[in-house]
Amino acid sequence: MAERSDRAPARWRWPFLRWLDGIEAGWAVPLLITCFVAMWTLYLTIAYAGSGLHPDTLEAWTLGRNFAFGYHKHPPLMGWVAAAWTSLFPLSDWSLQLMAMANAGLALFFVDLISRQFVTGHKRVLVLLLLMLTPAYQFHAQRFNANAVLLATWPLATWCFLRAFETRTALWAIAAGCTTALAMVGKYYSIFLVASFAFAALAHSRRRAYFSSASPWISVVVGLAVLSPHLYWLATTGASAFSYALAHANGNVVNSLSEVKNFLLGLAAAMSVSAVCWALIAGTRLKQFQADFAAMSPGLRLLFYVAIGTIALPVLTSLAFGTDLPSLWALQGLFLFVVLIVCGTGYPIERFYTVNLTMIVAGVALAAVLVAAPIHAFYRNDNGYEEGRNFYAQMANELTRQWRELTGEPLSAVSGDDSLAFATAFYSPDHPRYARPFEYQYSWDLPSGTTLDRGWAALCFRDQDHCTLWMEGLSSRAEHSVKPEFAVQATLWGKPGLTREVVVLMVPPRGRSGAPQSPAEDFSASRRAPK
């Protein structure tokens, strides 16, 4: 049937076949990725119309407001990206939703750079379509954080490493060093990708030619040089971001076995829809898998070793050190297996299947935008989120109004529950600074005297006991503090929804002389606050 369709396609297939003809011309893949980004940005806009941004995205923006070579919870890349984006685009929900999906689109573009090393024509598109059916590039991507930022950096670093191994030229070696360092400042989990590069190079039959050249050593030196500002930051600030990463080690072997099982099952579940689609495309030709694997090209063999390393190394580390291992941390590496499966086939794939898969991907996107998104929006308007995203904008505006009535000045600093503090910083017209330093965010320390002198507000939901107890302790120490309460209600396109009570602590600014401190000085002073 597929062969007959390719010989005499139905009229409705003609536009898709013309699109496939444009792959090698250079316009078909960018068009596919642009449509993907546009459709899923529209989905996010509708699905979260009555809600605020995810707290992880707000945290990334909060970090990026103060440029640094490191932050006290995460490596700096996600903050840098958010800061660069908001310097060009407006500060709004749709803008940061577009940023998240543009990051996913960029990731798919870098994956295509890898695919074109091994195949031409519509097989390149098959790789992207199968990845678009995984949750990594829509639902995982919309939570723009240290995990999501790796969606783009991992395929970029992999592409540069493949080129550096193959060509052994100084230019590609430098590119490999820079991009692996970029992945490391995205999240320290990228050490498994770097180690997988080393493992793949050692396991490959051409290892002697590679290691006897200058290429790997140039990559190491350049990578360390690019990382050196962050390494210096770690050395001079107590390495709190590294300590935060190590906090995921619990030392319990029984728990680690469970973590590994769930890790593998989670990745399998994420790939399940794509796997079924591929099985339907390959059909009985799946029997050729063993022969195709044996005939794999040297470049794909190298990629296979990288893929194995990205799964085996975190599993072995978890078993050895008793670390947490959520499958969410490894979603950015799924592209390795899709590229291997599609590009490793020794038989041609009829364009009939590519057109059908395109229709499936488009149908899923349309169903998500037209059906799932409105249902999700109405459901959340009535049932809410644990983090309270429905109330972010209303809460920030009400707090700002009350603060200005009390002090006559813009709100300059905010704390309390992290999600609410990030949201207030983003949605308040005053855009106050997040006043509690990140290294203390789980110990609930009091703000420094400098912060209190400049004026400060904190807020919690009434049902957040840990936050309200902290606030009560602070109110007994802060002079002239005011502790109002107010209720906020979610709304969606004029339809009222869930209500929730907010508890606020406002400490008006005390008299001071001289110019106010800069945000960086305030953060520095906060870091010296006693525990």
Is 50 exceeded by the pLDDT of residue 531? Answer: no
514 secondary structure, DSSP code: S
Q: How many residues does the structure list for the chain?
A: 531
Quick: pLDDT tens for 278-320: 999 999 999 999 999 999 999 999 999 999 999 999 999 998 8
Q: Which tokens is 365 given?
A: 């996107």
pTM, to two decimals? 0.91
The tokens 């209303």 sit on which residue?
394
Burial of 151 (0-12, 13-18, 19+ CB in 10 A): buried
- Looking at the chain, the whole-number percentage of residues with pLDDT higher than 70 is 90
Name, in order, each residue with C-beta under 8 angstroms of 37's C-beta and a sequence gap of 6 or more.
Answer: 98, 101, 102, 104, 105
Quick: pLDDT tens for 231-253: 999 988 877 666 666 666 666 67
User: How does residue 517 score in pLDDT terms, banded at 50, 70 and 90?
Assistant: very low
The tokens 């947490």 sit on which residue?
324
Is 70 exceeded by the pLDDT of residue 502? Answer: yes
Is 60 exceeded by the pLDDT of residue 339? Answer: yes
Nearest to 243 by CA among 252, 234, 251: 234
Name, in order, each residue with C-beta under 8 angstroms of 276's C-beta and a sequence gap of 6 or more.
Answer: none
Is 60 exceeded by the pLDDT of residue 194? Answer: yes
Is 90 exceeded by the pLDDT of residue 88? Answer: yes
482 secondary structure, DSSP code: B
Neighbours of 378 (CB within 10 A): 16
Q: Which tokens is 319 given?
A: 């078993």
For the beta sheet containing 413-416, the strands, ordered from the edge strand earlier in sequence to the opposite edge, are 433-434, 413-416, 456-461, 495-507, 485-492
Quick: pLDDT tens for 354-407: 999 999 999 999 999 999 999 999 999 999 998 899 999 999 999 999 999 999
The whole-chain average pLDDT of the chain stands at 89
So what's the pLDDT on residue 212? 97
Neighbours of 244 (CB within 10 A): 18
CA atoms within 13 A of residue 252's CA, in its CB half-sphere: 9
So what's the pLDDT on residue 468? 84
So what's the pLDDT on residue 240? 67
Quick: pLDDT tens for 60-74: 999 999 899 988 788
Is 60 exceeded by the pLDDT of residue 516? Answer: no
Computed on alpha carbons and rounded to an integer, the radius of gyration of the chain in Å comes to 26
So what's the pLDDT on residue 322? 81
Domain boundaries, the chain: 27-370, 389-527
Neighbours of 524 (CB within 10 A): 14
